Structure 1
């Protein structure tokens, strides 16, 4: 598989695209107006403690207060006792109520776990994690782990032994990243030491800073993507900004020197995303319908509560039997669904409606294909088995806004509903409103004037002329219809004079 990382930078926006065999797999966008990025560390001040929700709202100096759940709060007494940095050390431990952990006005160090989304503020945690080149340092957790992507048991034990021998501060823990595979003790210990110094500097700054305040910013989107995407199988890194090129070249030379010659500066006049076909793929990435190569298609409906994905055979009619046609379509859809979840950054609750299959073995193979595709996705997911109706329930971790919400806003015409009242519906509403207005004013007025959208007025004149005449006779008043060019289809005024 050919992998390319393409970076487009302007003064106000930076976009990083990951291409796999020329197909857009991930797109990351950061704008100058963005307030908070996942990974940033703040000194916050508790605004409210809500025992009924076992949560608190914390002021970070952002537009909206951040949400802190009780499970993400460090209890100082537990931490002092050494119970895993404030996390319950065993399944029988009674959780400490948040009102005993926090008080209004209290200041604490927190990290953004989920960026602000829609009308919600950021989700934060007091259990900080600092990612480095080869590992992630967790100052408040004693866990020592190794990435699941390192499959070799012998290598996992070797890395665990190296980390265990490092001089970690009390209460701290480490997760070894995939990039550490094959490294020696010196490189890993140096990375740990660097992250411990970073954490110490954050604590020192917090001690001398009044809340709310930003204590630590994670890497910008360019270097963050390099840190998370870089591997030896990346064939090309193309950047259209000299500054980003220089920073990336230095970062790659230190992080993965064997591929530093694959970093290229793009200087042509044609936009870099046009040259590599990224722009057109971004435009398609918000379409609800996704066509499969076989002729089938997906319909992706992203709602407030969950995302629904429907699988359809479309133009694909198969060759042997209906069961095989359905099975082949579902098999192809399972792989494409995971690709779309990555590309659109869809998280939360997801319901997949596969086409009904009669053969239990076919359902098992489709489920297996879906699970294998999800295993290659970096975002953590939980999946339930396929039901008799062909439904699959799953969740996917969400840390930032999905692509649709990032690139678009609710329609001002329909208020984001996706539908508007039909012309006949609005027309009949107006007729009823005329009657109400006539009853309200009694004998006080002689005329009722209606101002509405051109289509609605046309409907009343053409299709409801008889109803209008009958209504005039009933209320004993003249009815005047006027076109309001700037009114949308649902908007109207009924005024007596």
Structure 2
């Protein structure tokens, strides 16, 4: 599979498109003034404890207080509170030695929020979910710092290895290496990308994350809430960190700064792939050049058409998302069951793409075409699970119910990407009605007569190409020729594709528009 990352920098921010085999599968945007992104660390102030919800509301500077549930406190919440207070009041130039920090006992899973956050203290928190609709950010106290090969988790000494690394020998090798190089009071999760990496590469990644924790410690010194302590990497860098692998064959951007940053980052983490970064500058909009714009316009409507003629209807509600699969005119055989299976398999692949592309989260209900055979239903379930495998968001797929419905849940991390692919008709302004051609012709002729009686000569009328063809058809006997003879004046009719159907304008001999 070939992966391409197309990065479009605009004055408002950055748009990032991920293509797999030329097909758009993810679309991200990052505003230039982005705040409260997933992964950002803030020093917050506990404002209100809600025992009934077993949760707290924390002021992190957003217009609405952020939400922190007891289950997101982390077993090491007391250690985090102690560290936060100690770092704020620390007076030493270099900061205290974190390896000498005394970790507090873990909190119990079934505890109460007011037992841990009593007194409404200041606390270091990480954004778990961005603000969505009327809700403020959701927070977590389980601080994690992701790197290329490992994830650093402070206040514990646990080393865990990704379950996606199937070789038991490789898992043991990575565990031994990380245990030998990590500092005290740091836990480490070894990511799938670490498979096959040597000690030097893992040590470099781990050292950078430990240096980041030291930066957090320094930024907390003397801070008063609410305050941002550390920003997550830019969207470009975080996507490269999480996705860059042997399948990547091109990264293109139209911004010199992003080009330099991306090239520098790749030279550091994967020097052999530094040549895949390119700067786009041929004058054509970068999203147009790589076909992203066309795919966006064709992928974000209520109806999504597939190559075979089948199509999806995607409806959004406050509670859930509903997707209906329609066969259209697709027919692969005379067997209705086989037709349904083939259509459903094609739809499953497109649905998995749409979930990633639109970043749809929550509950998704899919109404597939009815199939009678249990083995076909099992094939569809297995196919959907396989198509969803590349999705980085946590998700679960349930078997097809007796009503022919498949239920999917997908983690919602940020607001859904929703691009409006419709606009008001410029000719009728949404009314559904325009002036007939005969009335339009009379209107132009009436205005011509008015202009000629006010001493305008040698006029040019600019109209839509369809109207131009109508007015000039027949040369000697055309409408334009009739006007010339009627007024004994020179009249030129010119087309302009930018005009809507009923638009027309008059210009004098100097090419200046005549306002009526």
Q: Please, what TM-score do these two structures have when normalized by structure 1?
A: 0.76
CA distance in 1, matches of 2:77, 2:342: 57
Q: Which of these residues, 152, 162, 173, is aligned with residue 147 of structure 1?
A: 162
Q: Is the 8 A contact 1:128 1:140 kept in 2?
A: no
Residue 129 of structure 2 is matched in structure 1 by 114
Task: Identify the match of residue 315 of structure 2 among 301, 318, 333.
Answer: 301
Provide the rounded CA distance (Å) in 1 between the counterparts of 2:253 and 2:286: 8
CA deviation after TM superposition for structure 1 residue 304, in Å: 1.5
Q: Does structure 1 retain, via aligned residues, the 8 Å contact 2:77–2:141?
A: no
Q: How many residues align?
A: 404
Aligned residues of 1:46 and 1:107 also touching (Cα < 8 A): yes
Pairing 1:60–2:60 present: yes
More displaced stretch, 266-275 vs 101-110: 101-110
> Paired residue for 1:357, among 355, 359, 371?
371
Q: Does 1:180 align with 2:194?
A: yes
The answer to whether the aligner puts 1:128 opposite 2:143 as a matched pair is yes
Among 239, 244, 248, the residue aligned to 2:253: 239
Q: Is the 8 A contact 2:149 2:205 kept in 1?
A: yes
Aligned equivalents of 1:239, 1:402: Cα separation in 2: 24
Distance in 1 between residues matched to 2:8 and 2:23, nearest whole Å: 17
Q: 5+ residue gaps in structure 2?
A: 83-100, 424-516
Task: Note closer, same or farther for the CA distance 1:86–1:295 as it changes in structure 2 (3 Å cut).
Answer: farther
**Is 2:269 aligned against 1:269?**
no
Question: Counterpart in 2 of 1:394?
Answer: 408
Residue 186 (structure 2) pairs with residue 208 (structure 1):
no
Cα deviations by residue, 1:299-344 (Å, 9 ceiling, x for unpaired): 1112211111111212223422211111111111111111111111
C-alpha spacing 1:142/1:312, structure 2 compared with 1 (3 Å):
farther
TM-score by length of 2: 0.74
Q: Please give the residue correspondences for 1:478-497 in structure 2 after superposition, counting only pairs within 5 Å.
A: none
Counterpart check, 1:3 vs 2:31: no
Q: Could you say what secondary structure the match of 1:199 adopts?
A: helix
Q: Secondary structure at the match of 2:318?
A: coil
State whether structure 2 residue 45 is matched by structure 1 residue 45.
Answer: yes
Is this contact kept in 2: 1:74–1:86, CA < 8 A? no
Matched, 1:249 2:295: no
| CA pair 365-257 structure 1, distance change in 2 beyond 3 A | same
Matching residue of 1:24: 24
How far, CA to CA, are the matches of 2:315 and 2:277 in structure 1? 38
Sort the Cα spacing of 1:156 and 1:213 in 2 relative to 1 into closer, same or farther, 3 A. Answer: same
Structure 1: 5+ residue stretches without partners: 412-497
1:410 offset after TM fit, Å?
13
- The two structures, once aligned, show a CA RMSD in angstroms of 2.5
* Separation of aligned partners in 1, 2:121 and 2:236: 35
Cα displacement (A) at 1:169: 2.5
**Is contact 2:75-2:109 (8 Å) kept?**
no
1:34 corresponds in structure 2 to: 34
Give 2:12's aligned residue.
12
How far apart are the structure 2 equivalents of 1:128 and 1:38?
12
Measured in 1, the distance between the counterparts of 2:156 and 2:324 equals 41
Within the alignment, does 1:286 sit opposite 2:300 as a pair? yes
1:71 touches 1:87 (CA, 8 Å); kept in 2? no
Q: Of residues 417, 420, 435 in structure 2, which corresponds to 1:403?
A: 417
Q: In 2, distance between residues paired with 1:169 and 1:196?
A: 11
Which has more radius of gyration? Answer: 2
Aligned to 2:207: 193
Preserved CA contact (<8 Å) 2:398 2:407: yes
Deviations 1:337-394 (A, max 9, x none): 1111111111111112112211000000000101111122221112222211111222
> Helix, strand or coil: the match of 1:403?
coil
- SS at 1:329 equivalent: helix
Instruction: Point out the more displaced range, 187-196 or 6-15.
Output: 187-196
In structure 2, C-alpha distance between the alignment counterparts of 1:71 and 1:246, rounded to whole Å: 41
Q: Report the counterpart of residue 486 of structure 1 in structure 2.
A: none
